Amino acid sequence: MLTKRIIPCLDIKDGRTVKGVNFVQLRDAGDPVELAKVYSDEGADELVFLDITATVDKRKTLTDLVTKVAKAINIPFTVGGGISTVEDVKVLLGAGADKISINSAAVKNPQIINEMALEFGSQCVVVAIDTRNVDGIDFVHTHGGRKPTLLRTQAWAKEVADRGAGEILLTSMDNDGTKSGFANEITAEISAALSIPVIASGGAGNMSHFKDVFTFGKADAALAASIFHFKEIPIPDLKAYLAKEGISMRIQ
Amino acid sequence: MQVAVIKYNAGNVQSVLYALERLGVDAVLTDDFDTIQKADKVIFPGQGEASTAMRYLKEKKLDRLIPQLRQPFFGVCLGQQLLCEYSEENDTTCLGVFPVKVKRFIPESHEEFKVPHVGWNNLLDLKHPLLNGLDETAFVYYVHSFFCELSDFTIAKTHYIHDFAALMHRDNFYAMQAHPEKSGKVGERILENFLRIGS
């Protein structure tokens, strides 16, 4: 039986793992290679690695780090942050990433999704969508959630799927950093409307939030960062809890 | 032991090389006819699209070489599908090692079953030494929209929408739809078992 996936996200700045609270204040949460290995050994189903400074920093640091992480772990591994060209993707896949995630670049030039899917296959193209509800309407935001766009989240999600995205990583900017639970409503709406998997992100605070996003939220996978980095919720405990609650889980 | 990993234009093979490196195996990534022919073991990885991959194999004359190889040969993901006789993906004639057809997943409703089949799923009816040490609690990582039909050559199944051939075996040819290089300790065990064949 296909299981729901638990995905720790490593936000990277200057080669270190950090997690922003509402994406603004940053706290150092350790060495990414070490964390990646711990997560892989603990039963994480996949890792996401977001370089939050990639748009301005040199790419080489990231590429080296991707290689180190890829050599250390044996679970799937997505890299995002500042990726805008087919060449960027080629470099990161060559360094050992299994999938790449694009966000702002896709909004700016949607055709890049088609190009990347054609060149590397849909399976390695994840489109990250940051959404925020403004007066009852869900709008896509870019640049780490700071910049609003005129795109409606639901319509954009459908468009990226049609253009060949393999998965959607949906982050609710309203919930991110609040620990009040995932944005189940919009996650369910998008997951039900699309044939590709949806990874829910933003708002995980306790174990029941994960149960909710897999049931009410219809998510295929759930992503979180700080609650894992600071060991508030150990992954083996979370997976045992979810399995007991009837959610299909890979238990090692 | 010389392990050749076949290089072609199908997705990322780097993770396969890293997985072999973790097992202490020195593998060579190559599309060279002679190097592949002389290798002790051959791994045929892959992600991507069937017709494009077949075109590349033909250019390198590997479409003739592969079915004639006699050393242990392991096709992974698209590599498994290309070892079959035919794929529905862009109506592609494949290598024909396994008299098996590759079909597209067609779910009745995508609310219940999404395509591609992405994530961890378990192996069922395991019946071959390649799977020694594993049972039906073994999960492997899948990313695919097409699957190999069940046949007499199926040595383990997985269920998604319906059963399909998770692993297959015929003579010196082994094949697996999931990614052993990305399937944690289970995948490592399968790779180790493959590398141990004949030694």
Residues of A annotated catalytic, as ranges: 11, 130
Does A196 sit within 8 Å of B114, measured CB to CB?
yes
Contact B97, B66 (CB under 8 A): yes
Query: Which residues, numbered 20 to 39 in chain B, qualify as contacts with chain A under a Cβ-Cβ cut-off of 8 Å?
Result: 21-22
The DSSP symbol for B34 reads: H
The amino acid occupying position A36 is A
Q: What average pLDDT score do residues B78-107 get? A: 96
- Residue A10: the pLDDT is 87
Q: Which of B115, B121, B141 lies closest to A195 in CB terms?
A: B115
Chain B hits for A2, CB-CB cut-off 8 Å, are: 117, 119-121, 142, 160
Please, what are the domains in chain A? 5-244 (3.20.20.70)
Contact B79, B45 (CB under 8 A): yes
The DSSP symbol for B124 reads: B
Which residues of A lie closer than 8 Å to B, measured between beta carbons?
Answer: 1-5, 40, 45, 70-71, 74-77, 93-98, 120-124, 166-167, 192, 194-197, 218, 220-221, 250-252
Does A94 sit within 8 Å of B182, measured CB to CB?
no
Chain B hits for A114, CB-CB cut-off 8 Å, are: none
B159 CB within 8 Å of a chain A CB? yes
The amino acid occupying position A104 is S
Residues pairing with B136 in the sheet: none
- Residue A22: the pLDDT is 38
Q: What is the share, in percent, of chain B residues with pLDDT greater than 90?
A: 83
**Cα–Cα distance, A173 to B77 (Å, whole number):** 36
ipTM of this predicted structure: 0.91
Residues 6 or more apart whose CB falls under 8 angstroms from that of B142 comprise A2, B117, B118, B119, B120, B121, B158, B160, B177, B178, B179
**Cα–Cα distance, B118 to A62 (Å, whole number):** 26
- Residue B185: the pLDDT is 95
Residue bearing tokens 């599908």: B81
pLDDT tens sequence across B17-63 = 999 999 999 899 999 999 999 999 999 997 778 898 899 999 999 99
Q: What average pLDDT score do residues B117-122 get? A: 96
Chain A hits for B187, CB-CB cut-off 8 Å, are: 74
Chain A hits for B48, CB-CB cut-off 8 Å, are: 120-121
Chain A hits for B21, CB-CB cut-off 8 Å, are: 71
Best of B104, B110, B114, B161 to disrupt the A interface (most A CBs within 10 Å) is: B114
Does B114 sit within 8 Å of A192, measured CB to CB?
no
Helix (H, G, I), strand (E, B) or coil at A32: helix
- Phi, psi values for residue A43, rounded to 5°: 105, 15
Q: Which CATH class is domain B3-196?
A: alpha beta
pLDDT of B93 higher than 80: yes
Contact A17, A11 (CB under 8 A): yes
pLDDT tens sequence across A121-139 = 888 899 999 999 999 999 9
B9 CB within 8 Å of a chain A CB? no
Residues of B annotated catalytic, as ranges: 77, 179, 181
| Angle in degrees, CA B156, B130, B97, rounded to 5 | 70
Return the axis-axis angle of helices A59-72 and A86-95, rounded to nearest 10°.
40
Entry pTM? 0.93
Mean pLDDT of chain B: 93
Residue ranges in chain A modelled with pLDDT below 50: 20-27
- Residue A24: the pLDDT is 40
Output B21 or B9, whichever has higher pLDDT: B21
**Length of chain A counted residue by residue:** 252
